[in-house]
Each structure stands twice: as structure tokens, then as C-alpha cells.
Amino acid sequence: MVLPTFSARSTSRKQKNCAQPATDAAILRENAEQYRIKKESELKGREAAIAAVQAKLTERDGKTVASEEQLAKILNEREALETKLQAKEAEISTLQKQIEEKQPASANPGAPSTVELQARLDDARQQLDNAEREKSLLSEKIQAIRERSSQLEDEQKRREVARGKVRRPRHDFGRQPSL
């Protein structure tokens, strides 16, 4: 009678010992699967955040390029107007000298009269006034664009700094979770 009791106890212990590793392995597999799912979810969240930041940076870059193109166009217009203004100023100066001297522009009998020259001078003065007003408006626009450009440059510098800080996370797929 002693033998069967001992044998039954021995079998019971062996079954418990065999069942314990199987249960532990199942728990470990379940924990590993939960850890993997959690890490995949975190990775997807990080990728979405990175995509959002990259979209914002792309949008800002587009705005920067458009602003730079607009600035170049305005600067070209300004240069053309300044050239035109200088030509008009030279013409006015020539006409004023001729009026002061009270001499006709040339000895040519078909030359314009003093009245015609005065009318041209008045017209040139009016054009000069208009050009000066336009020049002041352009200078205000240029100042605004310069301010915007400096803001965009500052923003671009901040983005470059941010790009250096935003990095894709390393994937730890090969590592086993520590329990």
C-alpha cells in the first residue's frame, strides 16, 4: 500500500512540474505578443507624427518659395522703375537748363517752342511725382517683404534645427521583452 501512494504522489508532482513550464511558456508567448502589438502601435503613432511634421515643413517650404519669387519680381519692378525715374530726372534737368537759358533747344526752326517745352516740363514733373509715389509704395512693399523674408529665414533655420532633432525610432523587433 505504501508503493501506490508514493507512486501517485510522484505522478502528481511530475504532472504539476510538466504543466508549469507549458503554462509559463503560454504566458510568455502571450506577453511577447502583447508587447509586440504595443510596440507596433507606438511605431504607427510615431510614424504618423513624423508624417504630420513633414507635411507642415513641406507646406512652409512651398510658402517660402512663393514669397521668394514674389520678392524677386518686386525687386525687378523696382529696378525698372528706378531706371525710368533716373531717365526722367535727366530729361527734367536738361529741360530746366534750357528754360533758364531761355534758348531754344536747337537752332532748328522746327524745334518746340518755350510753351511746348514748359508743357513737357510740367508733364515730366507730374510723371516724376507719380514715379516718386510709386517708388515709396514699392519701398514699403519691399520692406514688408524683407520682414516676411527674414521671418521665413528664421522659420527655415528653426525647421533645419527641428529636422536635426526629429529622427525615426530604431526598431527593436529582434529583442525579447524583459519580464
What count of other Cβ atoms lies within 10 Å of the Cβ of residue 91?
15
168 Cβ contact partners less than 8 Å away, ≥ 6 residues apart: 46, 47, 50
Highest-pLDDT range among 8-12, 33-37, 61-65, 159-163: 33-37
Q: Which residue has the higher pLDDT, 169 or 63?
A: 63
- 64 pLDDT band, cuts 50/70/90, is confident
Average pLDDT over residues 150-177: 70
Q: Could you tell me the pTM of the whole model?
A: 0.32
- 36 pLDDT band, cuts 50/70/90, is very high
Grid cell 510615431 in the structure block, residue: 46
What count of other Cβ atoms lies within 10 Å of the Cβ of residue 89?
13
Q: What is the pLDDT of residue 1?
A: 43
Closest of 82, 110, 114, 85 to residue 98, by C-alpha: 114
CB 133 within 8 A of CB 141: no
First to last CA, the chain: 45
Q: What is the pLDDT of residue 8?
A: 47
Q: What is the pLDDT of residue 172?
A: 53
Average pLDDT over residues 17-39: 85
What count of other Cβ atoms lies within 10 Å of the Cβ of residue 83?
10
Q: Give the model confidence (pLDDT) of 107-125 as tens digits.
A: 566 777 788 889 989 998 9
Average pLDDT over residues 56-70: 87
Q: What is the pLDDT of residue 176?
A: 57
- 174 pLDDT band, cuts 50/70/90, is low
- What is the residue extent of each domain of the chain? 8-165
Q: What is the pLDDT of residue 111?
A: 75
Q: Give CATH for domain 8-165.
A: 1.20.120
pLDDT of 43 strictly over 50: yes
Q: What is the pLDDT of residue 3?
A: 46
Q: How far apart are CA 174 and CA 14, in angstroms?
A: 34
Grid cell 529741360 in the structure block, residue: 95
Report the mean per-residue pLDDT for the chain: 80
